[in-house]
């Protein structure tokens, strides 16, 4: 919490930045007027439904001059037409160095960005941590997440905040940033960075990134019917004794977003196998790992191997799947949940903390699996009502 206090202190330094009319506009997720785009280039040039801070954040998000050397933007790995996961569909996204990709699969930012700050809560009757950012929750709140890709040598590779801030100062949008966030001292790197974070947050939480325009959303509003297979899949998905999916990928509005995003943002070890290209690497301890002066340490052994339950919206567009991109298709994911315990081909990376109650031998038939997948495909944004 100390870190958060520091950020809040920086925020107060930014004098009177206030979230009045413009924020209301962008947080209005009304589907009465849906937001659509045809491809990434159309998306980049369309500012519909964005507040001034959202437009600014969008310019920063797609600014490829912020990497070192130039060429990689946030949008390189978080592509709008791939549900804001990596449109190149690789297990490990390539940033600045093609020979040195990221260690984990790119998370879709859409809807996942609406997670709460990491905090203790009651999950399925037990006190546990929920929320936070990254597969392992290492960023407690969104403001702490942003510097990570900008400084990560495998992503945007800046050497420090000073280097990023000096690039932001030279950017064509810097005057707007200065004005909108009332940066009183433009030489102050921390202030420039904090305004940058707020602008990025404004864009990432906007209706453009979280549009709720899936067939499923229109079905909930009574505007379209689901097919028989989709309907069977939706029912099965919610069946907590059969598929058990909704135990974690909540099928009702969660209390943080007040909308259905199919995630409770809790952490679980579902027994994902190692990715073949990472066999030589040490265990990815997931949630248990915390950076301590740049050195990862394990704090609670009961948390080893846990990763964040992410949203399933747009899941059809974000392959490959899981924190290490080990599964290429939704069929593979479903087969894994269905048979992990009884199929010798699955060798979970770390078993001592693995969830053996809610998955692994579900006894779903091939039709059940096909129906669940048909349902999952109704979660793609961009559905057009005829
Ligand atoms: C080289 C590819 C790459 C670039 C460039 C990149 N990201 Fe990411 N992003 C990732 C990967 C990989 C993860 C997951 C990392 C992990 O969990 O350890 C991620 C995770 C995230 C998350 C966490 C989502 C969640 O639900 O936990 C956010 C938010 C995010 N990125 C925003 C950004 C922003 C903003 C930028 C630009 C400043 C950016 N990313 C640049 C690859 C990238
Ligand atoms: C006990 C909680 C739990 C249950 C039950 C569960 N999941 Fe998950 N799900 C997770 C967690 C945690 C992850 C991330 C795991 C990782 O990457 O190591 C995940 C990841 C996924 C992913 C990949 C997401 C991505 O962006 O890569 C899909 C798809 C998925 N689950 C679908 C399902 C379906 C379908 C069911 C029901 C058959 C289900 N899940 C049941 C917790 C759960």
| Residues paired with residue 270 on neighbouring β-strands, in sequence order | none
At 14 the pLDDT is 46
By alpha-carbon position, which residue is closest to atom 30 of ligand 1?
Answer: 109
Distance CA 301, CA 314 (A): 33
Cis peptide upstream of residue 7 (ω within 30 degrees of 0): no
At 288 the pLDDT is 81
Phi-psi region of 378 (alpha: psi -120 to 50; beta: other; left: phi over 0): alpha
Distance 145 CA to ligand 1 centre (A): 8
With a CB cutoff of 8 Å and minimum separation 6, the contacts of 241 are none
For the chain, which ranges sit under pLDDT 50? 1-2, 8, 11-28, 31
* CB-based pocket (< 6 A), ligand 2: 243-245, 247-249, 268, 270, 272, 307, 309-310, 312, 315, 318, 321-323, 333-334, 337, 355, 358-359, 372
Distance 134 CA to ligand 1 centre (A): 7
Q: Which atom of ligand 1 is nearest to the CA of 311?
A: 26
Distance 228 CA to ligand 2 centre (A): 24
Choosing from 77, 333, 348 the residue with most ligand 2 atoms within 8 A of its CB, the one to mutate for a pocket test is 333
Q: What is the largest CA-CA distance in the chain?
A: 63
Ordered by start, the domain boundaries in the chain are: 2-204, 215-379
By alpha-carbon position, which residue is closest to atom 3 of ligand 2?
Answer: 248
Q: Which CATH topology does 215-379 take?
A: Cytochrome Bc1 Complex; Chain D, domain 2 (1.10.760)
CA dihedral of 203, 172, 66, 163, whole degrees rounded to 10? -120
Q: Which atom of ligand 1 is nearest to the CA of 101?
A: 1
Phi-psi region of 354 (alpha: psi -120 to 50; beta: other; left: phi over 0): beta
Distance CA 262, CA 259 (A): 9
Strands 126-130 and 295-298: unpaired
Choosing from 57, 107, 146, 171 the residue with most ligand 1 atoms within 8 A of its CB, the one to mutate for a pocket test is 107
Backbone angles phi, psi at 363, to 5 degrees: 60, 40
Distance CA 161, CA 62 (A): 19
Nearest to 210, CA basis, from 330, 30, 23, 21 = 30
* Tokens describing residue 338: 């269905």
With a CB cutoff of 8 Å and minimum separation 6, the contacts of 9 are none
Sign of the torsion angle spanned by Cα atoms 317, 100, 66, 196: positive
Strands 289-292 and 295-298: antiparallel
Distance 268 CA to ligand 2 centre (A): 9
Distance 119 CA to ligand 2 centre (A): 21
Evaluate whether 248 touches 306 at the Cβ level (below 8 Å): no
At 386 the pLDDT is 82
* Tokens describing residue 282: 């040490």
3-state helix, strand, coil in the chain (%, to 5): 35, 10, 55
Tokens 């479903």: give the residue: 334
Q: Which atom of ligand 1 is nearest to the CA of 94?
A: 1
User: What SS3 state is found at 128?
Assistant: strand
Helix ranges (DSSP H) in 31-173: 40-45, 52-61, 74-77, 142-145, 147-151, 161-170
CATH code matching the domain that covers 2-204, chosen among 1.10.540.10, 1.10.760.10, 1.10.10.60, 3.50.30.40:
1.10.760.10
Evaluate whether 156 touches 54 at the Cβ level (below 8 Å): no
Distance CA 128, CA 124 (A): 9
DSSP-assigned states of every residue in 268-319: E---PBPPGGGTTSPP--BTTEEEETTEEEE--GGGTTBEE----TTGGGS-
| Residues paired with residue 119 on neighbouring β-strands, in sequence order | 130
Q: Which atom of ligand 1 is nearest to the CA of 115?
A: 26
Distance 95 CA to ligand 1 centre (A): 11
Which H or E run contains 123?
Answer: strand 119-123
pLDDT tens digits, one per residue of 112-156: 999 999 999 998 888 999 999 999 998 988 888 888 999 999 999
At 12 the pLDDT is 44
Distance CA 222, CA 61 (A): 35
Instruction: Report the percent of the chain where pLDDT is more than 70.
Output: 90
Backbone angles phi, psi at 85, to 5 degrees: -105, -170
Domains 2-204 and 215-379 share a fold: yes
pTM (predicted TM-score)? 0.93
Helix ranges (DSSP H) in 37-110: 40-45, 52-61, 74-77
């Amino acid at each position: 919490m100390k870190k958060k206090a520091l950020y809040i202190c920086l925020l107060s330094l930014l004098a009177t930045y206030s979230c009045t009319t413009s924020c209301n506009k962008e947080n209005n997720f009304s589907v009465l007027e849906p937001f659509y785009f045809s491809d990434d280039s159309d998306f980049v040039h369309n500012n519909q439904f964005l507040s001034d801070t959202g437009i600014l954040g969008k310019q920063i998000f797609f600014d490829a001059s912020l990497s070192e050397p130039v060429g990689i933007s946030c949008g390189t790995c978080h592509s709008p037409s791939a549900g804001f996961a990596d449109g190149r569909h690789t297990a490990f996204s390539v940033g600045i160095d093609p020979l040195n990709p990221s260690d984990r699969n790119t998370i879709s930012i859409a809807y996942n960005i609406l997670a709460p700050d990491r905090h203790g809560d009651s999950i399925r009757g037990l006190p546990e941590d929920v929320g936070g950012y990254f597969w392992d929750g290492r960023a407690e709140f969104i403001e702490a997440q942003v510097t990570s890709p900008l400084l990560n040598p495998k992503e945007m590779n800046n050497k420090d905040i000073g280097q990023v801030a000096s690039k932001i100062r030279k950017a064509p949008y810097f005057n707007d940033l200065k004005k909108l966030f009332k940066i009183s001292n433009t030489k102050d790197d921390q202030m420039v960075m904090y305004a940058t974070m707020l602008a990025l947050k404004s864009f990432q939480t906007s209706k453009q990134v979280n549009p709720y325009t899936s067939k499923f959303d229109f079905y909930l509003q009574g505007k379209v019917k689901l097919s028989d297979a989709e309907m069977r899949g939706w029912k099965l998905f919610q069946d907590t004794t059969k598929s058990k999916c909704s135990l974690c990928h909540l099928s009702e509005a969660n209390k943080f977003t007040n909308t259905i995003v199919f995630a409770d943002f809790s952490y679980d070890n579902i027994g994902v196998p190692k990715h073949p290209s990472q066999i030589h690497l040490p265990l990815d301890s997931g949630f248990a790992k915390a950076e301590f002066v740049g050195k990862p340490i394990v704090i609670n052994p009961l948390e080893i191997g846990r990763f964040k339950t992410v949203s399933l919206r747009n899941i059809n567009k974000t392959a490959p799947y899981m924190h290490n991109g080990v599964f290429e298709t939704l069929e593979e994911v479903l087969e894994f949940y269905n048979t992990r315990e009884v199929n010798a081909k699955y060798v979970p990376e770390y078993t001592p903390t693995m969830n053996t109650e809610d998955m692994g031998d579900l006894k779903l038939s091939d039709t059940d699996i096909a129906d669940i997948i048909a349902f999952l495909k109704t979660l793609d944004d961009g559905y057009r009502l005829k």
